[in-house]
Chains A and B, each alone.
Chain A
Amino acid sequence: MSADSHAHGHDDDEHGLAHTATVKVLLATGITLLFLTLVTVLATKIDFGANINLAIAMVIAVTKATLVVLFFMHLRYDRLFHSVVFVSALLAASLFVGFTLMDTSQYQQTNIWNPSVPPVAPIGPRPING
């Protein structure tokens, strides 16, 4: 058990069926997650180049996911075997993606549209409703 559970006070049940999350950890995790959501939205407003923007968004997403898994899902305090099960699934998933991308360079460049020279419709804008 971690030091967190002692920090909260007398009634965190160390002998219950499972670890009880403290109010402090729950709130801190929740607020950090909301803050990171704000950061990831604001980060897209700044142009660092497409790849760096994508990297920033993914790093933030992975951080958020880690927080959820460790604290909301209690994996930090849970049995090691549950972590093994979950991490194996993540490894398998990344293998799927990795193997599919291995032959990417074997294909011709098939861009069918150039974002820097987009075609322009000879028509006027109309506000999108909703």
Chain B
Amino acid sequence: MSTAHEAHGAEHDLGHHGSPFVQHHYDDAQHQFDSGKLGIWLFLAQEVLFFSALFVQYVLYRVHHGEIYSYAHKWLQVKFGAINTAVLIFSSLTAAWAVRCAQRNEKRGLIACIALTLACAWTFLGIKYVEYSHKVHEHILFGSYFDPCVSPGGAELLTKNNECPGAKSTIEYDYGSEKAKTGCFEQSKLDMNPTEPGVQADCEVSEITREKKAGAKDVEWVEKGRRAITARCPEPHIAEADAPEEKETFPCWRTAYQPAVCPDLTDAEARSHGTGTRPQVGILVEYGDSAERGEEIAIEAKCKAPPAPAAQSIDVLASETGEKNLKLGQGAIHPVHVETAEEEHALESIGPPPEHTGMFFTIYFAMTGLHGIHVLFGVFVFTWLLIRAAKGQFTKDYFGPVDYAALYWHIVDLIWIFLFPLLYLIH
């Protein structure tokens, strides 16, 4: 061990061990450093095992339900994941550089590197906050809280809680029986193509303003007033570059669907072959602003079955409109001629999620959440290091804490290196 400390303007009395922070129960600084290093490596090994439980969960569910991953990952924005990956890699570099600075008695460099690492950690957490808050806002959450307001393509979906901003539906969901009590219609009884004259679904949609009756044991609503909502929201379509922006009149109503709310009557076997009965739908009213629609508003819709022409089969409709390559389930709804893979990809993400898609987000939040907690802990550790570095406590004979914290920070980076492709980059 080196005992020469005259250089580099160290202001402290470094004692016979070279640093006042070398504890008396160690032989020397090397002994203390090596003990700490073994300790941190054992801790990192434990961290790998800790996270491996979540990776097992991820792999097992992906093997059995890959289709959920290939749909649900579209809700995640690669942009945010990629920026966060770069931020963490850069912070790993500055953390490793901090160790180098400490080893070379470069106090100012050490402070700069620790500060940069901290700044990156906060940036990472800030981006995570943006991502999480968007998911909270759209109810794209874990377990039974998974009740998305929109599909990855941005289409409005029916929700159980019916509390999405700017929309209100006919659905009244009963959590006891896990079924919609009212508000679901069989899709075959509605005609979904408002561009076909004369065959539009005959629904009378009204918005009811109501108030709670005082003193009643069960919740009882008293109607205060109602107004008819006649405007129909525009057709679903894939945005074309040249197409003029369609003007929407608010409030307007549309039909919407989500298997978790209104049951998909198609059985799994039939669905994987693209055949079977139609899913059920509900009526959704869009208000066009983000103001929360309170409980005091309810939507009522009375729909009649469409007249005879709508009963035509999809094939007949398809040949009439001269469209080829119609996909079952798309044709009668909106005859879009799907050609390019990109268009197909976009269409796919407009559709409602598969059942149990919430599992993806249970796994997503468990993995990124646990990782995020590690980043947060790293923030505390590096803040502590920054204070100690500013006091000039780290020298080439005592830099263990910097080295150990950097090793911890690298393992946090390492786990994110796997989480990023596994969650964001699913093909």
* CB atoms of A86 and B96 under 8 A apart: no
Contact of A97 (CB < 8 Å), options: B45, B55, B133, B150? B55
Q: Is B199 an interface residue (CB 8 A)?
A: no
Contact call B78/A41, Cβ cutoff below 8 A: yes
B71, A115: Cβ atoms under 8 Å?
A: yes
Point out the residues of chain A lying under 8 angstroms from B406, CB to CB. 72
List of A residues within 8 angstroms of B37 by Cβ: 18, 78, 82
User: Is B425 in contact with A37, judged by CB distance below 8 angstroms?
Assistant: no
The total number of A-B Cβ pairs within 8 Å is 266
A122-B255 in contact given A13-B396, A97-B52, A130-B134 (Cβ < 8 Å): yes
Contact B89 A123 (CB under 8 A): no
Chain B contact residue count (CB 8 A cutoff): 116
Q: Check B153 for interface membership: any CB of A closer than 8 A.
A: yes
Asked whether any CB of chain A lies closer than 8 Å to the CB of B67, the reply is yes
Asked if residues A97 and B56 are in contact (CB atoms below 8 Å), the reply is yes
B104 A11 Cβ-Cβ under 8 A: yes
Q: Tell me the smallest distance from the CB of A87 to a CB of chain B, in Å.
A: 9
Q: Contact between B97 and A125 (Cβ–Cβ < 8 Å)?
A: no
CB proximity of B37 to chain A, nearest CB, Å: 7
- Min CB distance, B32 to chain A, in Å? 9
Partner of B45, one of A37, A71, A88: A88
Contact A126 B154 (CB under 8 A): yes
A121 close to B130 (CB less than 8 A): no
Give the top 8 A-B pairs by smallest Cβ distance, nearest first: A113-B354, A117-B274, A93-B52, A89-B45, A30-B93, A57-B421, A53-B427, A124-B236
A-B contact pairs, 23 of them (CB 8 A): A20-B104, A21-B100, A26-B100, A34-B90, A50-B427, A53-B427, A54-B426, A58-B421, A69-B410, A72-B413, A78-B37, A79-B34, A81-B38, A93-B52, A112-B271, A119-B266, A122-B187, A122-B256, A122-B333, A122-B334, A123-B254, A124-B237, A130-B133
